[in-house]
Every structure is written in structure tokens, then in C-alpha cells.
Amino acid sequence: MTDAVKRDSRSNSGRGQARTRLARRAVIEAARTLFLERGYATTTIETISEHSDVPSATVYRLFSSKLGILKALLDTSIAGDDKPLAVPERPDVASMFAEPDPRKLLAGFAGITTAINQRTNDVYHVLVSAAGSDPGAAELLGELRHQRDQGQGQIARALARARALKPGLRERDAADLIHALMSPEVYRLLVADRRWTPERYQQWLAATLTQQLT
């Protein structure tokens, strides 16, 4: 294969990948709008295809099913982008576990949690509603809660290893407190229902985590 052919092949591959990313983004954004406006159960792939201007066959090829679209929507909302990198592996999150000051560590995770909840609040509500009648959505909700539990458990573990937990507070109990305080349900109660600003929620979360854990 000549150098020119190799360059053309790479160029075509790059254009194909760009088109795929654009199609995925269009489908995800159309699904977000439709799920919020019409609900998960009544939204069809055909409707998503029409609103995203992406052929149904392509939608199926990219996501396999409507549940696959919802999962991709959640993943990109949680991460803030479409990069294939899990939240715990992202530099801003991973670096927090190296923070020696427990107050700064908890304040940092309060900020990360606030940003994630801001991005996922409405989509998470769609998932919870769908889980009541759709077994696939219920399984996805269970997976999401398990991932959150695993990630937040690392915070309790880091505090325990640094001997920063309040005297008498076990690591397991600390993990339970973190799980409750950082939950999307508490965010929704305070920000969506009680009209707190995200900034006020973040300050409250950082202060309450510090008070309860250290």
C-alpha cells in the first residue's frame, strides 16, 4: 500500500468517525428532548430518528435499542462529554483521592457531585420513572446505583485510610452517610423542589459531609 493510499484510508476513516460521533450526538440530544417532553415509554426509536434526522437503521446500529439510547444519554450526562472514560478514571476525580486534607477532599467531591447532578437531574428522573414499568430500565437503574455506591465507597475508604473519620465512625457507616447525602434524590429535593441554587447545595453538601464524617 502506497503512502498516498494510506493517507486516503486514514482520512476516510477519520471522516467516518466524525460522522458517527455527529450522528450519536444528534440521536442522544433528540432522545433527551423527547424523553423529557413525552416520557420514555411513549417515545419510539422511529420518533427519535425523525427528530434527529438520523435513519432508523443507523440508530439501531449505533445503539441497538431504545434502552441503549437511554444508557448513552445517562453516560454522557454523568461524564459531561462522550469520551469513553469512566468518571473515577477522569483526572479531576482521580486526583481528589490524593488530597491529604479531608476538608478539601470532601469539598472537591461536593463540587463534582453538584456538577454531575446538574447534568443528570432530569435524565435520572426519566430513568426512575421508566424503571417502574420497564425491566430493562430497572436493571439499568440498579447498575447505576451500584456504580455510584462503588465510587462513593472509595471516598469513605480514603478517609478511613487517612484516619480522618470521626472517632467511633466505621467506614461502612461513613459510606452510608456519603451515599445518602450525595444522592440525586437529595439534590432533587433541595434544588428542584425547594428551589436552592446549585451553589447553595454545593456549600451545604461540603459543610454537611465534613460535619458528619470528620
The 3-state secondary structure of 83-147, one letter per residue: CCCCHHHCHHHHHHHHCCCHHHHHHHHHHHHHHHHHHHHHHHHHHHHHHCCCHHHHHHHHHHHHH
Averaged over 180-204, what is the pLDDT?
A: 97
Q: For residue 192, name the pLDDT band (cuts at 50, 70, 90).
A: very high
Tell me the pLDDT of the chain averaged across its residues: 91
pLDDT score recorded for residue 156? 96
- Per residue in 111-155, pLDDT (tens digit) is 999 999 999 999 999 999 999 999 999 999 999 999 999 989 999
Check pLDDT > 60 for residue 8: no
The answer to whether residues 112 and 93 touch, using CB atoms and an 8 Å cutoff, is yes
Averaged over 173-182, what is the pLDDT?
A: 97
Q: For residue 94, name the pLDDT band (cuts at 50, 70, 90).
A: confident
pLDDT score recorded for residue 157? 95
- The single residue listed with the C-alpha cell 452510608 is 176
Higher per-residue confidence, 118 vs 13: 118
First to last CA, the chain: 64
